[in-house]
Amino acid sequence: MAAVWSGCSTSFSQELPPHPRGRRGGDGARIHPWSGGAGRDATTRHAEAARTVVVFARGRVRVCRAAAPCVLEPDVAGKEEVGVAVWGMDDEPPVADGHRRHGLRRRPVRPAAVEEGPVAAARSAASASASAAGSKSEVGGSRLHFLEERDEEMLSRRLIKLSQSNKVRSATELFDSMRASGLQPSAHACNSLLACFVRRGSFADAMKVFEFMKGKGMATGHSYTLILKAVATTEGYFAALKMFDEIEESDKKNVDVIVYNTVISVCGRAKDWRQVERLWRRLGENSLSGTLMTYDLLVSTFVQCGQSELAVDAYQEMFKSGIDPSEDILKAIIASCTKEGKWEFALTTFRRMLSAGMKPSIIVFNSIINSLGKAGEDELAFRMYHLLTSSGLKPDQYTWSALLSALYRSGRCWDVLDLFQGIKTKHSA
């Protein structure tokens, strides 16, 4: 049993019948593998053998013509003998003339070339960085670090500093690494990271931290305030209101007045005064007392939406709660009352404003003078005018128009003409 191996890209195995020492070629000439040959020199036979291998098998002739010349063993081994032979299998003994049969061999694989220059430097740098990252792993786009420090309080303080410094990437990697290591950040640290994401506008990351806190039972009123602001900014006030209802139902004990103020502010910016009123009523039903911020939001929202009665109700409730109103609340109440013709309540609020040491603006004076003039209270209107000038303010065209209207509504036509002539003389320029 023997096999013929061409040594080129086409390899085949074929059973051969017993053959004599020499063989005849296609032209009838006998081929002697290792003899010098009579008529052809070794070089010629070498070239022909490299181009064509003729195989006699079962009466048929097969020719392997390789696209590229095969390489003979002597070329590889450096020996002098040249020829075509049959490779012996299973330790086939040598032939009668003492020569060991050799066959064609494949060209040995060349060793990989050594790269030099910038390409090699880049590859080596890449492999070095890959090996240097052995202590890190990528999970969900964030690197996980091996934490030698195992103190949760120490790591939580580090997370707070990173979040307050707006170092989002480092804070995120520390947060994920703590979770992967079985360590739990404190509620303060999670709130700091949540606030960092809200400031940066990373809504998806903020929701991830919030869901983690909610699952661990770590969510606080501050957590709810932050996430509600983010939801209102990203998805609108109605989505924030829906989330608030879910939070209030599941964790009512952690819903404080600050959370209510957040939702009231969100609905107030949307001019949805009905939702603002509903939240105000629910605040009292849950035995929570409003703060100065609460009443500021209520009064300003109701005034802007033209709900003066609700604004006055919120203002009076604030006094019952023992909270002193701010200057903005007093101005809003005066503007709302003068617009609705409630000049008495506006005048009472104005006196309270003066007693609190506040200095009314020209707009406040003009609104009260105009309201008094429409009510036919011309004397009170001129008292307010003298108070205006004594406070160091100068009357403008709206002041004069309100005084002229007050005199006209009181039937004092000659006084109207006198005042008009005085205005023309004073402001002739």
| Residues whose CB falls within 8 Å of the CB of residue 39, separated by 6 or more in sequence, listed in order | 29
For residues 298 and 276, is the Cβ–Cβ distance under 8 A?
yes
pLDDT in tens, 126-143: 444 444 444 443 334 567
Q: In angstroms, what CA-CA distances link 308 with 249, 300, 312, 343, 352? A: 32, 10, 6, 13, 19
pLDDT mean over 58-83: 43
133-137, 209-213, 290-294, 334-338: least confident range? 133-137
For residues 104 and 6, is the Cβ–Cβ distance under 8 A?
yes
The 10 Å Cβ neighbour count of residue 429 is 3
Helix (H, G, I), strand (E, B) or coil at 358: coil
Helix (H, G, I), strand (E, B) or coil at 47: helix
Looking at beta carbons, which pairs linking 142-148 to residues 24 or more positions away fall under 8 Å? Answer: 142/172, 142/173, 142/176, 143/173, 143/176, 143/177, 144/173, 144/176, 144/177, 144/180, 145/173, 145/174, 145/177, 146/177, 147/177, 147/178, 147/181, 147/183
For residues 209 and 219, is the Cβ–Cβ distance under 8 A?
no
Residue 56, φ and ψ in degrees, nearest 5 = -95, 115
> With b meaning 16 or more CB within 10 Å and e meaning fewer, what string describes 126-150?
eeeeeeeeeeeeeeeebbbbeeeee
> Between these two residues, 151 and 316, which has the higher pLDDT value?
316
pLDDT mean over 9-30: 46
| Residues whose CB falls within 8 Å of the CB of residue 99, separated by 6 or more in sequence, listed in order | 33, 34
* Residue listed under structure tokens 């009231």: 264
Q: Is the pLDDT of residue 109 over 70?
A: no
pLDDT mean over 65-79: 43
Q: Break the chain into its structural domains and give their ranges.
A: 1-106, 289-341, 361-429
pLDDT at 329 (0 to 100): 94
What's the CA gap between 265 and 271, in Å, rounded? 10
> Between these two residues, 308 and 35, which has the higher pLDDT value?
308
The pairing of strands 30-31 and 52-57 is: unpaired
User: Considering the chain, what percentage of its residues have pLDDT values greater than 70?
Assistant: 65
**For 211, how many CA atoms within 13 A lie in the half-sphere containing its CB?**
6
Residue 177: pLDDT band with limits 50, 70, 90: confident
Q: Is the pLDDT of residue 68 over 70?
A: no
Average pLDDT across the chain, whole number: 75
Q: Is the pLDDT of residue 425 over 60?
A: yes
